[in-house]
Structure 1
Amino acid sequence: MATKVSVEDLLRSPALQLRLLAGQAGLSRSVSWAHVSELDDPTPWLLGAEVIMTTGIGVPHSAARQRAYLERLDDAGVSALALSAQLHVPPLRRAFFEAAEERGMPVLEVPLAVPFIAIAQEVAAAVQEDARQRLGAQLQVFGALRWLAAEDLDHATLFRRLERLSGYEVFLCTPQGRPLLPGVPVPSVDVLPAVPEAPPTIPGGFVLPVPAPGGPAGFLVAFEREGARPAGLAVVQHIATVAALQVAMVRHERETLRREGAETLSELLQDVLDPAAARRRLARMGLESPIALLAVRQVGDDALRRALDGRPHLMLRRGDDHYVLGSPSLATAVAAIQGVAAGVSRPFVSGEPLRVAQREAVWAAARAAESGRALVHYGDDTTGRWLQDDPWVLTALVEHVLGAVLAYDSAHGSQLLTSARTWMERDRRTEDAAAALHVHPNTLAYRLRRFAELTGRDLSSSAAFAEVWLAIRAAHQLGLQD
Structure 2
Amino acid sequence: MIVRTSVADLLRLPHLRLSLFAGGEGLGRAVSWAHASDLDTARDWMAGDELLMRNGFTLPSNGADQAGLLQGIADAGASGLVIGEDPRTPVLRNELAAAAEACRVPVLVAPYSVSFAAISRAVADANSRADAARVAQVERVYAAVRDALGGTPSESPVVRVARELGCRLHLLDPRTGHPLGPSRPEPAPGLVRAVLDAVRERDGRIPGVVHLPLPGGARALMVEIPAAEPTVLVAVDLPAPASDTSLLHHLATVAALEVARHSMTMEHRRRIGAELLAHMLDARTDEATAKRELADFGLEPSDCVLVAVRRGDWAGQRDLHLTLERHRIPWLLLSRAPLLYALLPDEDNALSAVRGKLGNAAVFGISDPLGTARRTPAAQREAVWALSVAASRPDRSARYGDDHGYTVLRGVDEARRQVERTLGPLLAYDERHGTELVASLEAFLRCRRSWQRTAAALRVHKQTVMYRMQRVEQITGRALAETADLAELWLALQARELLDGPSRQWPAADEPD
Query: Residue in 1 aligned with 2:273?
Result: 261
The answer as to 2:154 corresponding to 1:143 is: no
Query: Residue in 2 aligned with 1:94?
Result: 91
Shift, 1:8, TM fit: 6.8
Query: Residue in 2 aligned with 1:388?
Result: 413
The answer as to 2:223 corresponding to 1:189 is: no
User: After the TM superposition, which of the residue ranges 233-242 and 327-336 deviates more from structure 2?
Assistant: 327-336
Matches of 2:58 and 2:316, distance apart in 1: 54
**3-state SS, counterpart of residue 95 of structure 1:** coil
1:153 to 152, 155, 161: 155
User: After the TM superposition, which of the residue ranges 337-346 and 327-336 deviates more from structure 2?
Assistant: 327-336
**3-state SS, counterpart of residue 309 of structure 1:** helix
Matches of 1:47 and 1:161, distance apart in 2: 22
The answer as to 2:336 corresponding to 1:292 is: no
The answer as to 2:240 corresponding to 1:229 is: yes
Letter in 2 for 1:295: A
Work out the number of aligned pairs and report it.
397
Q: Quote the RMSD (CA, aligned, Å).
A: 5.9
Shift, 1:243, TM fit: 1.0
Matches of 2:47 and 2:351, distance apart in 1: 49
Query: Residue in 1 aligned with 2:463?
Result: none
Letter in 2 for 1:94: V
Q: Is the 8 A contact 2:37 2:53 kept in 1?
A: no
Query: Residue in 1 aligned with 2:378?
Result: 356
Q: Is the 8 A contact 1:293 1:358 kept in 2?
A: yes
Matches of 1:275 and 1:210, distance apart in 2: 42
Letter in 2 for 1:189: V
Matches of 1:249 and 1:124, distance apart in 2: 40
Paired residues for 1:443-458 under 5 Å: none
Matches of 1:40 and 1:234, distance apart in 2: 17
Matches of 1:409 and 1:28, distance apart in 2: 96
**3-state SS, counterpart of residue 247 of structure 2:** helix
Matches of 2:144 and 2:493, distance apart in 1: 65
Paired residues for 1:355-434 under 5 Å: 355-369=377-391, 374-381=396-403, 384-386=409-411, 388=413, 391=416, 410-411=478-479, 413-416=481-484
2:335 to 300, 314, 317: 317
5+ long unaligned stretches in structure 2: 111-117, 213-218, 425-472, 499-508
Larger Cα-atom Rg: 1
Distance 1:28 1:221, change over 3 A: farther
Distance 1:475 1:100, change over 3 A: same
Q: Is the 8 A contact 1:48 1:77 kept in 2?
A: yes
Matches of 2:493 and 2:53, distance apart in 1: 86
Per-residue CA shift, 1:79-98, capped at 9, x if unaligned?
235799xxx98797533664
Matches of 1:282 and 1:378, distance apart in 2: 23
Distance 1:2 1:293, change over 3 A: closer
After TM superposition, the score normalised by the length of structure 2 is 0.56
After TM superposition, the score normalised by the length of structure 1 is 0.59
Distance 1:90 1:268, change over 3 A: same
Shift, 1:106, TM fit: 0.7
Q: Is the 8 A contact 2:18 2:109 kept in 1?
A: yes
Matches of 1:146 and 1:479, distance apart in 2: 54
Matches of 1:411 and 1:41, distance apart in 2: 75
Per-residue CA shift, 1:256-309, capped at 9, x if unaligned?
222332233223222223334333433333323323222222434444554962
Distance 1:475 1:318, change over 3 A: closer
Query: Residue in 2 aligned with 1:107?
Result: 107
Distance 1:236 1:384, change over 3 A: same
Matches of 1:60 and 1:143, distance apart in 2: 46
